[in-house]
């Protein structure tokens, strides 16, 4: 259920697995696409074929989660990350996510470059960029959510 998430955090007490095979079924909800992109083909196949349970620390080591925190700090950390992300302009966040997913399986570097060039030009025309420039010149933090 966490694979489609942009940022994944686990508790030090977390136990994670791809247990589908242990109950006679296969991974679902695009797991066979997302997991190899997140942890690499070898780790993904081992997790999906074995159904083994891994700790939060192991999940962080292989890149399945971004970080591991004490259980009592899990929500605090999740909220802090969400606030860091939410500070930024929504249009830029959407463009980054769109480009990342579009380019995930793209092998043509020129196509990737052109997509990024178009989005970069569009971003420079948005109010958020103007606010960022003004904030820089005025030596203050930008406010993208006026």
Provide, rounded to the nearest whole percent, the portion of the chain with pLDDT above 90: 97
> Is residue 21 located within the same domain as residue 77?
yes
Query: Average of pLDDT values for 15-21?
Result: 96
Q: How far is CA 17 from CA 3, 14, 46, 109, in A?
A: 12, 10, 11, 34
The chain-wide mean pLDDT, for the chain, equals 96
pTM reported for the whole predicted model: 0.85
Gap between the Cα atoms of 56 and 10, Å rounded: 6
The domain in which residue 111 lies consists of 88-137
> Is residue 35 located within the same domain as residue 79?
yes
54 occurs within a structural domain: yes
Using the 8-state DSSP alphabet, how is residue 66 labeled? S
Number of domains the chain is built from: 2
Q: Model confidence at 146, in pLDDT bands (50, 70, 90)? A: confident
Q: Where are the beta strands (DSSP E) in the chain?
A: 9-11, 15-17, 53-55, 67-69
- What is the reported pLDDT for 83? 98
> Is residue 21 located within the same domain as residue 68?
yes
Using the 8-state DSSP alphabet, how is residue 69 labeled? E
35 occurs within a structural domain: yes
Query: Per the structure block, which two tokens stand in for 125?
Result: 């025309």
> How many other CB atoms sit within 10 Å of the CB of residue 13?
11
> Is residue 93 located within the same domain as residue 115?
yes
> Is residue 71 located within the same domain as residue 96?
no
- What is the reported pLDDT for 101? 92
Q: Model confidence at 143, in pLDDT bands (50, 70, 90)? A: very high
- What is the reported pLDDT for 62? 98
> Is residue 70 located within the same domain as residue 35?
yes
pLDDT in tens, 1-13: 789 999 999 999 9
Planar angle of CA 20, 10, 64, nearest 5 degrees: 55
Q: Give pairs for 32-39: CB < 8 Å, separation 24+.
A: 34/3, 34/4, 35/3, 37/104, 38/3, 38/63, 38/64, 39/63, 39/64
Residue 115 has pLDDT above 80, yes or no: yes
pLDDT in tens, 28-61: 999 999 999 999 999 999 999 999 999 999 999 9
Query: Average of pLDDT values for 73-87?
Result: 98
> Is residue 59 located within the same domain as residue 46?
yes
């Amino acid at each position: 259920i966490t694979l489609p998430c942009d940022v994944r955090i686990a508790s030090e007490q977390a136990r994670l697995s791809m247990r589908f095979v242990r109950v006679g079924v296969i991974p679902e909800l695009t797991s066979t696409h997302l997991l190899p992109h997140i942890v690499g083909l070898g780790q993904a196949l081992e997790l999906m074929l074995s159904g083994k349970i891994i700790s939060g620390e192991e999940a962080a080591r292989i890149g399945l989660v971004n970080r591991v925190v004490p259980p009592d700090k899990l929500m605090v950390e999740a909220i802090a990350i969400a606030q860091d992300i939410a500070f930024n302009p929504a249009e830029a966040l959407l463009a980054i996510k769109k480009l990342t997913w579009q380019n995930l399986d793209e092998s043509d570097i020129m196509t990737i470059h052109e997509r990024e060039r178009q989005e970069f030009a569009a971003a420079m025309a948005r109010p958020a960029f103007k606010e960022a420039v003004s904030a820089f010149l005025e030596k203050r933090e930008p406010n993208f959510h006026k």
